[in-house]
Amino acid sequence: MAESSHFTEAEYYQKCFDSRAYMNNFYSRPEGHSDENNYLSFVLGCLSRIFSTGEYKGRKLIEVGSGPTIHTVISACQHYHELVLSDFVDGNREEIKKWINNEEGCFDWKPIIEYVCELDGKSSSDVEVKLRQKIKQVLKCNVLLENPFHPESIEPADCVITSLCLEAACKDMQLYTDALCGVTKLLRPGGVLVMVGVLGETFYRVDEIHFSCLRLSKENIEDVVSKLGFTVQEFNIFSAQDQETNKVSDFEAFFVLVALKTKG
């Protein structure tokens, strides 16, 4: 099953998404996949800078749609007491739990953790221990539901991160808007939203398996975020270096957005 003729929705991911192949292909080194020219270094660098100031901190951080990965919370873990990770795909949650429990054969995140810790000026061994201790829950989530964690109710967090999730889950802008609305309800007034995503992408591949992506522009995202009552603090963009040689995706740019929820 190399390609889907329609938008690849939740059950396709449950059936076809190879969590370990995804990590091996995109997260085995700090630069990311060789076809995508240092996109991962850009993301990790942005997250390091965003959280190293200490401006964003609190009791709880929730990541919505973690995939099988932990890289987006490495820099943040120093500033929050409790981390909640989540994903729709069972295999993705299992991979995270294997790493938390340091099970034999779990994915090796050390190269990424060491890279981030060098940026942050922290000891990688200390951060690895703290990260495992602070991830308190790995929940099933479905961003197409009004409450992504239904039937569970989660107390609003001080920070919500979502990375490469909504554009892969939502086939049109209405669904994307509704999904982001549900995600932002997980955030307390005055809290910070950190979004990592792609612009101009319609597909990506994990080995030979094709997955769809909603094509987004910077203007699309700014418009939705603003309408949901957020003030954008920064919108960092990393443009594709050589789209002609990229066989694993057709992204035009990666972005890292930081926005504050209007206090109510």
Determine how many CB atoms are found less than 10 A away from the CB of residue 174. Answer: 9
* SS3 annotation, 60-117: EEEEECCCCCCHHHCCHHHHEEEEEEEECCHHHHHHHHHHHCCCCCCCCCHHHHHHHH
Token pair in block for residue 155: 């107390």
Residue 106 domain flag: yes
pLDDT digits (tens, 9 = 90+) for 69-106: 999 999 999 999 999 999 999 999 999 999 999 999 99
Residue 2 domain flag: no
CATH number at residue 60: 3.40.50.150
pLDDT digits (tens, 9 = 90+) for 189-220: 999 999 999 999 999 999 999 999 999 999 99
- Report the alpha-carbon distance of residue 31 to residue 238 in Å, rounded: 13
Number of domains making up the chain: 1
| Residue 66 is labelled as binding a ligand | yes
Range of the domain at 37: 10-261
Residue 68 domain flag: yes
| Residue 92 is labelled as binding a ligand | yes
| Residue 65 is labelled as binding a ligand | yes
- Report the alpha-carbon distance of residue 210 to residue 140 in Å, rounded: 23
Nearest to 235 by CA among 200, 201, 263, 194: 194
| Residue 37 is labelled as binding a ligand | no
- Inter-residue contact 210 to 8 (CB < 8 Å): yes
Residue 3 domain flag: no
| Residue 56 is labelled as binding a ligand | no
